[in-house]
Amino acid sequence: MRDDLALFFALILVIPGATLLYDGIASADASQSIRVIGGALLLALGLTISSIVLRNWLKWRKIVARQRNG
């Protein structure tokens, strides 16, 4: 349950992060650096959460496979 919720929040962070990063790079104005930094921060946070969830899921799969075989 927690992993599903974490994936949901990771997706919520990745999409706006990618959008902000793209908008910040595509346009040149006074707030460009803030949008690039904010987008990179949200994108990195979302990808970090996703990698942690994926690592936990792979560990869980190993444990289940070990219990079935043994």
d(CA 52, CA 69): 26
pLDDT digits 0-9 by tens, 41-52: 999 999 999 999
pLDDT digits 0-9 by tens, 11-68: 999 999 999 999 999 888 888 999 999 999 999 999 999 999 999 999 999 999 999 9
Q: Is the pLDDT score of 69 beyond 90?
A: no
Our CA dihedral for 54, 55, 56, 57, rounded to 10 degrees, sits at 50
Domain count, the chain: 1
Which among 22, 17, 19, 24 has a CA at the least distance from the CA of 39? 17
Domain that holds residue 39: 2-69
What's the predicted TM-score (pTM) here? 0.83
Q: Which residue has the higher pLDDT, 1 or 28?
A: 28
d(CA 21, CA 17): 6
